[in-house]
Every structure is written in structure tokens, then in C-alpha cells.
Copies of this chain bind each other. A is one copy, B any other.
């Protein structure tokens, strides 16, 4: 199967406008490539919500810090295109960096408090990069709906805030995390793990499920449950826990006791690899 591919904003807009002229609804799935079944689930969900699905593949340099893995981030456009086609994607938008950030580009979007903690604290500038590139992709394609995984939960809540605040005319759809048989959340960065690290990685989702059960059973013991979870991750073989917290579902502010819709969020490290996961409480 071969997937139609466009590389310029004009070509993307022409195809979307042609579809729209036929009265069709369009979904966009923004990705950084290195696609796995989590991404393909977004595409399949897009097909359920719209008539045509566009996927973008763009490894966005502005959301990587200077010491992060931009250069070694896995890239395989041919493989990605084949996977997208098999999942029912209609069009691949794969712009060059020079298309997204031509000479003189200078604008940055800050989504405020929801971006400050957790990933935002460990990756300064990350969410400004995400917000800016997502705004561009949404305004380049003008889809009816755009789909993002719950795996990057703070990113999803940042994008919801961004779209609401700037009145971007699109509906944002969050899609539940897809997991391996042992519960490990699918992530392009899992490819960095050694066999030994991969065995340890499976404990992340189990520990978070334990934290959820504990705070559900005893809503006043969030601090104890979090401390126990951190100990369990280190005991299981993680090298560090960047954060583990029970947070408000929208603001991402940490909760001391469970008194409304909450989410447990965590990033733990295996060597240089940061593994993220989260669950609804």
C-alpha cells in the first residue's frame, strides 16, 4: 500500500480543502514518527470520527532540550508510511524543518500554569515547543478533530487549554494509552531500553495501579501512597523517579487528598531513558 504524502503547507491545504468541498470531515493525528500501535490506534479512532485522516510526521526540534535525544530520535518515514496506510490513514504530511521554521521564525506560545510542573519542570521550554508546533499543525491543516494520546497526559491537557484559549477551531480528542501484554505503555522511546531495562520497565504501570488503588481506598493518604510508590519503583530497579504525584485532571496541580477527578502521573528513569505513564484515579 502506498500512502499519498505532501510536504508543503499549500499541498496539505489543497487536499484538505478538496475534501471539505465534498462535505467530508477531516481528522489530524500529529506524530513525531517512530510509530507504534498507540499511534495507529489514534488513526483508527480518527477514522471513526471523520471521513479522512491526515497524519503528520515531524520530529519537532523546538520541543527537545539541548541535552535531549533530538538527534538520535528514531526516524523511519518508509516504515511509518506503511503502518499508517495499513491503519486506514489517507494522507501523510511530512514537512521539512525549513517548512515549519523558515528563516526569521520567531514566535513562541506559552500555555501557562498547566505546563510548569512535572514534564515542564524537567524539560524547560518543552511545552512552549509543543504548543507552538501543534498550533501550526492545526492551522496548517484546519482539521475538524485532532487526536492525541493520553500517554502524554500533561501534553494533552496543555493542548486542550491552548485550543480553548486561542479559539483554535478544532475538537481535541484524547485516546487511552495502548499497552504491551505486561502493561508497559507503548512509547517510541521504549526502543532505547536494553532487555534488562525492559524487564524493569513493566513495574511502572503496576506500581501506578497500586497507587491508584491505595488512594481510592484511603483518599486522605495521598502522600503516603506516593512515597510508597516511589520506594517501589526504586526497589524494582528504576534509577530515579523524576516525579510521582496525584494531580487534578485539568490543572495538573498536586492534590493532598482525593476530593474530585484525579490522575496519577509519573516519570521514572532507566539509564538516560525517561518513561512516562499515568492512570485515572
Contact = CB atoms under 8 A, between A and B. Distances in A.
Contacts of A135: 166
Interface in A168-195: 168-169
Interface residues of A, number: 27
A162 B106 CA distance: 8
A106 B139 contact: no
Nearest to A112: B106
B106 A114 contact: yes
Contact of A142 (B108, B109, B113, B169): B169
B109 A161 contact: no
Interface in A1-54: 9, 13
Contacts of A108: 109-110, 112
Given A139-B167, A166-B135, A167-B136, A110 B107 contact: yes
Contacts of A111: 106-107
A273 interface: no
A60 interface: no
A142 B104 CA distance: 25
Q: Which of A132, A139, A142 has the most CB atoms of chain B within a 10 A radius of its CB? A: A139
How many monomers of this protein are in the complex?
Answer: 2
Interface string A131-166: 110011001101000000000000000000110011
A139 B114 contact: no
Nearest to A102: B164
A140 B169 CA distance: 8
Contacts of A113: 106
A260 to B, nearest CB: 15
Q: Which of A108, A114, A162, A167 has the most CB atoms of chain B within a 10 A radius of its CB? A: A167
Contacts of A161: 104, 106-107
| In the A-B complex, the 10 residue pairs with the closest CB atoms | A106-B112, A107-B165, A139-B167, A140-B167, A108-B110, A136-B167, A107-B111, A109-B109, A105-B165, A135-B166
Interface of A: 9, 13, 104-114, 131-132, 135-136, 139-140, 142, 161-162, 165-169
28 contacts: A9-B167, A13-B169, A104-B161, A105-B165, A106-B112, A106-B113, A106-B114, A106-B161, A106-B165, A107-B110, A107-B131, A107-B161, A107-B162, A107-B165, A107-B166, A108-B110, A108-B112, A109-B109, A109-B110, A109-B166, A110-B110, A132-B166, A135-B166, A136-B165, A136-B167, A139-B166, A139-B168, A140-B167
Given A106-B165, A140-B167, 18 more contacts: A13-B169, A106-B111, A106-B112, A106-B113, A106-B114, A107-B109, A107-B110, A107-B111, A107-B162, A107-B165, A107-B166, A108-B109, A108-B110, A132-B166, A136-B165, A136-B166, A139-B167, A142-B169
